Amino acid sequence: MPSSLAKPNRPVFTDLDGLAAMAGEGDAFGVGGHHFARLPLALLRAIARRGTLDLHYVSWAGGLPLELLLEAGAVAEIDICFSSLDIFGLPPRFRRAAETGAVPVRDWTALAMIQALRAAQQNLPSLPFQLPEGSDMAARIPGARLAVDPITGDPVGAAPALRLDTVVLHAQRADASGNVQILGPRALDLAMVGAARRVLVTVEEIVPVGVLAAAGRQSVLTRNQVSAIACVPGGAWPASCLPFYVTDYAALAAAFAAPDTRLEAAFAPPETGVPQHLRQAAGVTAATVAALAAPAVHPEGGSPSVDEIMAVSLAGLLGDDSVASAGAVSPLANVAYRLAKATHAPDMIIATMSCGHLDIAPSPMLLSLIETLDGETAAAHAGGDDTYSTYYQAGAVTHEIVAAAQVDRLGRANTLELVKPGGGTVRLPGQGGMADVANMHRDYILYVPRHSPLSLVERVTVASSARGLLTPAERWPHGYRTGHAAVLTDLCVFRLDPATCELIVLSTMPGVTRERIVEATGFPVAFDPHCSIVPPPKPEALDMLRRRIDPLGLRRLEFVSARERGALIAEILAADRQAVDECIARQRMRAPDGARDRQDGSPP
């Protein structure tokens, strides 16, 4: 049955349990929201409590929603591009399901999934997409076929329509007639809604008809796109729902501290509602943060550390003509982008939240406020589906610098799975959209925080992304610009040689010998004839990095082992709370008397 059959003009208004009862067993089941933003967690908990089974989970990301449903035994199949718990690492239930084969996992490229959802939305059997040249992903996309463009005869991919039975999402408001307001990045919400027969929405509040028209930047699902609505204040907690509350990283850290923690119980809403400080933090403005003399809650003195050298080196690759997109879990790259824009490249454009926040200001990376500050300073808010068309496929993005678990001598990355020495596999987050954009972006830049023979290998287990189109002659016919192709590690900088299509060492990190690089690399190492030493960071850049851009030291999370991560996260969360509390206090002092009553995070 086509997914786009029209829904009634007025959705049903019900309660949380009534909404949960509408999700059917065996449904192709999509989840809206993104990372830790606007996740419909209260509704997912209610669906899990009902014992709904055999769901076919379909979303760009797995993450926390998928962990909740796997814990309940509700998932029979998984179709995703990526699954991570952000700063908290790999999701254990997903890893266990994937590594044991208990639940089939099918990996999509982001573009193929977008086109498959659009095909369903448009009642088409399939839609074409650019092939992820150089990677192994084309053969892994469910149902995809190699096709020939009927006009040019060039090879393209064809994605079959991806029809959904139910999509669940959380939004800020609905009006009394059932129109739903989404503020901020939209992820793939609009494409999933268009591909679904049933759309179930929880909202923070229901307002009179006409109120939504007074809002600024927003997307509206008109009432004939929505099946049913429940008013569930705090329905995204412990994820965020701006402008009502920010992400509760302390609650997330407590839930993830032990692998046997029951998430369904851990995420039961507090009896008093969303904690007050999370609501107050949602009202902190960029002007308040900028007025702080130096929110250096984690200053570092002395010689630069390797993470600082890499951050400054990455920033040096960016210029005023750069358009840089921050990936899903790449704090080092996000830091580098902001550092470049705050120092030598003020005209560059930065997009965060997977291109949902467009052209942000280089605000400090205060963990609880990143989304708030980026949302406020962004020139526009967008969805992952429309930014793929407008920016990625158009070749308008110059950089998306991302980390890789493995890189081989041909510069191919692996973020899907590793083979254990004794047999079996270790499941990794997935490639998200890197298989697509590795060719679309002008510059192809990877980084490996810990250089070893296990991370720099002769041949990757699976090539999740690669620069398959390398030379101008290969790239120009596709409409792509040619730029740098490089890999930065904590030992050296490689460039991808267009003549040999292999990595060659361009420069070494300070104090690192060639012998050490050779010993730490799993393939024969060649050095550029003009191989140099990476220059140390200039004092002013280092000061900006430490005191203004990354005062919590979030970049360090990529340089520690899983065993060390918990202690570092605890340190960061304590510093983050201190900084946020100071911002809240300053915000209250700055706010006019009439606005102070709104510092609970509720909108004016």
pTM, whole model, 2 decimals?
Answer: 0.94
- DSSP code of 367? G
Dihedrals phi, psi of 264, to nearest 5 degrees: -60, -35
Per the omega criterion (within 30 degrees of 0), is the bond before 243 cis?
Answer: yes
Per the omega criterion (within 30 degrees of 0), is the bond before 185 cis?
Answer: no
CA–CA separation, 361 vs 66, rounded Å?
A: 32
| CATH of residue 197 | 3.40.1080.10
Give the C-alpha distances (Å, rounded to integers) separating 158 from 141, 386, 441, 477. Answer: 10, 19, 22, 20
Give the C-alpha distances (Å, rounded to integers) separating 90 from 236, 255, 271, 280, 391. Answer: 21, 14, 30, 30, 29
Contacts of 195 (CB under 8 A, 6+ apart): 3, 4, 30, 117, 118, 120, 121, 161, 162, 163, 164, 167
Classify residue 63: in a domain, yes or no: yes
Classify residue 455: in a domain, yes or no: no
User: How many domains is the chain partitioned into structurally?
Assistant: 1
Q: What is the model's pLDDT at position 481? A: 96
Classify residue 218: in a domain, yes or no: yes
Q: What is the model's pLDDT at position 594? A: 43
Classify residue 536: in a domain, yes or no: no
What is the residue range of 64's domain?
12-124+161-243
CA–CA separation, 87 vs 123, rounded Å?
A: 39
Residue 217 token pair = 């930047």
CA–CA separation, 304 vs 310, rounded Å?
A: 10
Classify residue 404: in a domain, yes or no: no
Residue 281 contacts residue 515 (beta carbons within 8 Å): no
- DSSP assignment of 195-261 equals HEEEEEEEEEEEE-TTSGGG-SS-EEE-GGG-SEEEE-TTTTTTSBBTTTB---HHHHHHHHSSTT-
The residue type at 457? V
Residue 41 sits at the vertex; the CA angle it makes with 83 and 166, to the nearest 5 degrees, is: 80
Residue 489 token pair = 């590690």
Angle between helices 92-100 and 63-71 (to 10 degrees): 70
Classify residue 20: in a domain, yes or no: yes
Residue 364 contacts residue 550 (beta carbons within 8 Å): yes
Residue 213 token pair = 């028209």
Residues 549, 553, 555, 558, Cα dihedral to 10°: -170
Residue 321 token pair = 């003509």
CA proximity to 78, closest of 139, 136, 28: 28
A 10 A CB-CB count for 511 gives: 10
Residue 187 has, within 13 A of its CA and on its CB side, a CA count of 24
Give the C-alpha distances (Å, rounded to integers) separating 595 from 215, 288, 371, 402, 602. Answer: 18, 14, 22, 41, 11
CA proximity to 295, closest of 201, 363, 210, 213: 363
pLDDT tens column, 503-539? 999 999 999 999 999 999 999 999 999 999 999 999 9
CA–CA separation, 224 vs 11, rounded Å?
A: 7
Residue 267 contacts residue 67 (beta carbons within 8 Å): no
CA–CA separation, 103 vs 119, rounded Å?
A: 26
Classify residue 325: in a domain, yes or no: no
Residues of the chain with pLDDT under 50: 1, 3, 295-299, 594-604
pLDDT tens column, 500-512? 999 999 999 999 9
Classify residue 319: in a domain, yes or no: no
Residue 84 contacts residue 565 (beta carbons within 8 Å): no
Q: What is the CA radius of gyration of the chain?
A: 23
CA–CA separation, 337 vs 315, rounded Å?
A: 6
Contacts of 164 (CB under 8 A, 6+ apart): 3, 27, 28, 29, 30, 58, 117, 120, 192, 195, 196, 197
Which residue bears the tokens 């393209």?
Answer: 156
- DSSP assignment of 49-113 equals HHT---EEEE-SB-HHHHHHHHHTT-EEEEEESB---GGG-S-HHHHHHHHHTSS-EEE--HHHH
Residue 361 contacts residue 377 (beta carbons within 8 Å): yes
Q: What is the model's pLDDT at position 599? A: 35
Report strand pairing: 28-31 vs 406-408: unpaired
* 3-state SS class at 182: strand
Q: What is the model's pLDDT at position 329? A: 73
Give the C-alpha distances (Å, rounded to integers) separating 64 from 44, 84, 252, 255. Answer: 10, 8, 10, 11
The residue type at 28? A
